[in-house]
Chains A and B, each alone.
Chain A
């Protein structure tokens, strides 16, 4: 269940924390004698957590791959091995393909919009201040930081329900439009094929911008201010500084962020289920995870649902691989050139 060997090193970066540069070898504290103390210590400290992890996380992953090749319905013990039939069925199922398409749309636009906004805000807050004197951010920027970050701590399901209410015909959005003189005429933002997806994307963006803003602020603050001062002396303006200095120097943070939010967009279950529990008008907001959930827990087609899970996992890995590839192709050279 480990990723392809080429990905391993790459995934290392994506993992929340790794040992940091230069893994030190653990100190060998002499050859340990197997005393009662040491054995009981290892048993409890390592075996218990790892056992829980293997039973409840790893073994379900492995089983899912096996189930995906059966026609199991869950209620009888018998299941037939059907090979790749489930996958063939999935890729001829127009609803599933539509759900996958929606996931891909999400995986492209959610990271793009969220991270662009987050980057712009982060630059304003850290280096957007006066262009003379020390490199500074805007005055009073901590207020914006605290406010924007707040949606991150609100449960995603609450965010979804809240925005479903806001988008409803009698909701806040139409109220505001009426107030500024437009006549929305009870427009159902989530009930129309043209707006449902866009409205859903905005909800995820709303929830996530603050988190990535904070992430980028920390990254930009890690750039030595001398570099900015030098750029300034060379006559670089704000726009130029952001594109040629900030972005290349926080490239790795951006990559990590794209992967995080991409994985979130490829799941998107909570948001989509709360906004349009049935998949939206004409299934325009149906995502794979919703379809999987329905197939498993409403139709009890567990074999087929597991196959969807495998597809979802593969799509996630492919997404991560593409991001690494793009970063490698556009970047490696730049990094060395500039530093």
Chain B
């Protein structure tokens, strides 16, 4: 290290480090280059393994079934939307898309609202039994859904909601609740108490304090958990497949499985690929727009 940098360190470490970096430009050694190249090659191969199947799906969704079996690599003969039209109308994916939007949309709003309310009370009020609720939520998060699936079937049957969209919505809400509460619990804990007190002093009711003061402050946490919940609910498979047996009420994920397995090789492959694309597009859009927040919330939600 030169004389100059040493003095700088004594004066202002941060600036000194910057200057030092300028003076000692990182030179890549031979070994670095080899390691760097190998790393890039490995990561690039993995990226190809990820991208290739998706590109193949996209191309295949424009091909006729004959073309698909012909060669996996050929570009489609024409970029017409026959497969998409077939999937959307003939094979009923339009209806399923609508069902999915309704179920996921309503369940998402409800679980965010109920989850935020519950987390708020648990985090900021000393209510008797809140410790028990906390541990029950933990159990709900840890135990496999499969353990619950049989009794759940009969509970829904008992109240007449089996095979209906409201029945599906309420189960979605119930099973997404523990995750939402845990996530928001820590968030509400971290908010300053002074503001809540100030709201009371100003004469706000409990309701008003929550909706106009506390909830807006929790926006970043709500956004993070909202994105994760959207993906989780959109991708939900077991609950609909077990609890929603009527074909007219199908959501996309189960409709897709039914369509793929219904006729084996007789299946309209082109339409199947188109249906895959139809299912992926909403999550793709969410991914593109919220990529940063999503990766942020993944690490935020799991590394505490």
Give A residues with C-beta under 8 Å from B: 1-3, 8, 11-12, 14-20, 24-29, 37-38, 40-42, 44-46, 48-50, 52-61, 63-64, 67, 74, 117, 120-121, 124-125, 128-134, 136, 138-141, 143-151, 153-158, 161-166, 170-172, 175-176, 179, 206, 209-211, 214-215, 217-219, 222, 238, 253, 256-257, 260, 263, 266-267, 269-270, 273-274, 277, 288-289, 292-293, 296-297, 302, 305-306, 308-310, 312-313, 316-317, 320
Contact = CB atoms under 8 A, between A and B. Distances in A.
Given A147-B47, A313-B144, A154 B117 contact: no
A85 to B, nearest CB: 17
A206 B299 contact: no
B89 interface: no
Contact of A153 (B40, B254, B283): B283
Interface residues of B, number: 120
A45 B118 contact: yes
Contacts of A156: 235, 237
Contact of A211 (B52, B197, B272, B298): B298
Contacts of B123: 19, 26
Given A133-B24, A155-B237, A161 B287 contact: no
A83 B121 CA distance: 41
Contacts of B126: 25-26, 28
Contact of B27 (A132, A148, A161, A253): A132
Contacts of B140: 53, 57-58, 61
Q: Provide the main secondary structure of the chain B interface.
A: helix
A309 B146 contact: yes
Interface string B266-304: 000100110010011001101100010011001101111
Contacts of A256: 302-303
The main secondary structure of chain A at its interface with chain B is: helix
Given A56-B152, A132-B28, A313-B144, 12 more contacts: A2-B135, A16-B179, A26-B125, A27-B124, A53-B137, A53-B174, A60-B147, A61-B148, A132-B24, A270-B237, A309-B146, A312-B146
A147 B39 CA distance: 16
Interface in B111-150: 114-115, 117-118, 120-127, 133, 135-150
Contact of A53 (B25, B150, B151, B177): B177
A11 B138 contact: yes
Interface string B34-66: 011001101110110111111011000000000
Contacts of B237: 155-157, 269-270
B125 A153 contact: no
B256 interface: yes
A162 B254 CA distance: 14
B138 A58 contact: no
Contacts of A179: 73
A1 B182 contact: no
A305 B152 CA distance: 13
Nearest to A315: B144
Q: Which of B124, B136, B173 has the most chain A CB within a 10 Å cutoff?
A: B136
B242 A297 contact: yes
The 10 closest A-B pairs by CB, nearest first: A133-B26, A218-B299, A56-B174, A60-B148, A175-B72, A63-B151, A41-B206, A309-B147, A60-B151, A155-B235
A297 B301 CA distance: 35
15 contacts: A15-B138, A17-B183, A42-B121, A45-B210, A50-B118, A57-B148, A132-B26, A132-B32, A144-B44, A157-B253, A157-B257, A166-B56, A219-B299, A260-B302, A309-B144
A263 to B, nearest CB: 7
